[in-house]
Amino acid sequence: MMNNPKGKAKILSMFEEKNGNIYLKFENGNIEHEFKGGNLPDDVDFLRLANGSSGIKMFECAYGVELEEKNLRYGEKETLSHANSMLPPYYPKYLNTADYLRDKNGSIGKFMQTMGLEDIEKCNLKTPNGQNKIMDSLYNLNGFEDKIFVAASNQSPTKLQNGITTKPNHAYVIEPYMEDGRIKFRLYNSSNSAFYSDINLSDILNSFSRIYIGKITN
Residue 115 · residue 218 · CB < 8 Å: no
Q: How many CA atoms lie within 13 A of 63 on its CB side?
A: 25
Instruction: Please say whether the beta carbons of 57 and 47 come within 8 A.
Output: no
- My answer on whether 152 and 172 are in the same domain is yes
Render pLDDT for 52-78 as a digit per residue (tens, 0 to 9).
Answer: 678 878 888 888 888 888 777 766 666
pLDDT of 32 over the 80 cut = yes
Sorted by sequence, the CB contacts under 8 Å of residue 14 that are 6+ apart come out as: 24, 25, 26, 27, 116
Q: Residue 195: which pLDDT band, with cuts at 50, 70 and 90? A: confident
What are the residues whose beta carbons fall under 8 Å from the beta carbon of 80, sequence distance 6 or more? 94, 96, 97, 100
Residue-level pLDDT at 170: 84
User: If you average pLDDT over every residue of the chain, what do you get?
Assistant: 84
Confidence (pTM): 0.77
Question: DSSP string of 66-104?
Answer: HHHHHHHHTT----HHHHHHTS-TTSPPPSSHHHHHHHH
Lowest-pLDDT range of 23-27, 94-98, 125-129, 170-174? 94-98
Dihedral sign for Cα atoms in the order 45, 51, 53, 58: negative
Q: Please give the tally of structural domains in the chain.
A: 2
Considering the domain architecture, whether residues 16 and 96 belong to the same structural domain is answered as yes
Strands (E), 94-170: 118-124, 147-153
Residues 13, 16, 17, CA angle at the centre, nearest 5°?
150
Let me know: does 55 contact 38? Beta carbons within 8 Å: no
Instruction: Give the domain extent around 180.
Output: 118-215
Regarding whether 135 and 76 lie in a shared domain, the answer is: no
End position of a domain, from candidates 98, 114, 130: 114
- 49 plus 83 within the same structural domain: yes
Domain co-membership, 175 together with 205: yes
Question: Is pLDDT at 50 greater than 80 in this prediction?
Answer: no
Give residue 59's pLDDT: 85
Instruction: Tell me the sheet residues that pair with 23.
Output: 16, 34
Q: What is the mean pLDDT of residues 184-188?
A: 92
Same domain, 107 and 137: no
- Kindly indicate the confidence band of residue 20, based on its pLDDT and cuts at 50, 70 and 90: very high
* pLDDT greater than 80 at residue 191: no
Q: Is the pLDDT of residue 37 over 90?
A: yes
List phi, psi (to 5°) of 101.
Answer: -65, -35
Q: Are residues 136 and 173 in the same domain?
A: yes
Together in a domain, 34 and 47: yes
**Is 93 found in the same domain as 69?**
yes
Shared domain for 183 and 142, answered yes or no, is yes
Instruction: Write the CATH number for 207.
Output: 3.90.70.10
